[in-house]
Amino acid sequence: MEEKLDEYSTAQEDYKRKLLSPAFERAAGNLIQNLEDDMKFQEALDLRIQKYAHIYYKVAYKYKLPTMRVVPFIIRII
């Protein structure tokens, strides 16, 4: 991420959308089984993605790992 984060930058959103979201979606989708209805599958998928994102940020906070929420602060320090 060499792009400078400023008020017009989309690097933070792009990182989350291109890396984190597909990872959450793949992990959640692999664990959902035996749902024939697309609406029920999508609802279950959305709930699991939210749950996994919450767990990701909880673990990152506990072990003081950098997340996209703190990247602007880290960039300012650098």
- 77, pLDDT greater than 90: no
What pLDDT is recorded for position 11?
56
What pLDDT is recorded for position 76?
73
Instruction: Please tell me whether residue 3 adopts helix, strand or coil conformation.
Output: coil
> What ranges make up the beta strands (E) of 1-78?
none
**In this structure, how many other beta carbons lie within 10 angstroms of the beta carbon of residue 2?**
4
11 burial class (0-12, 13-18, 19+ CB within 10 angstroms)?
Answer: middle
Per-residue pLDDT band for 1 (boundaries 50, 70, 90) equals very low
- 71, pLDDT greater than 70: no
What pLDDT is recorded for position 32?
87
**In this structure, how many other beta carbons lie within 10 angstroms of the beta carbon of residue 59?**
11
pLDDT tens readout for residues 23-68: 889 989 888 888 888 999 999 999 999 999 899 889 988 998 877 6
Give the largest CA-CA distance in the chain: 50
Task: Please state the length of the chain.
Answer: 78
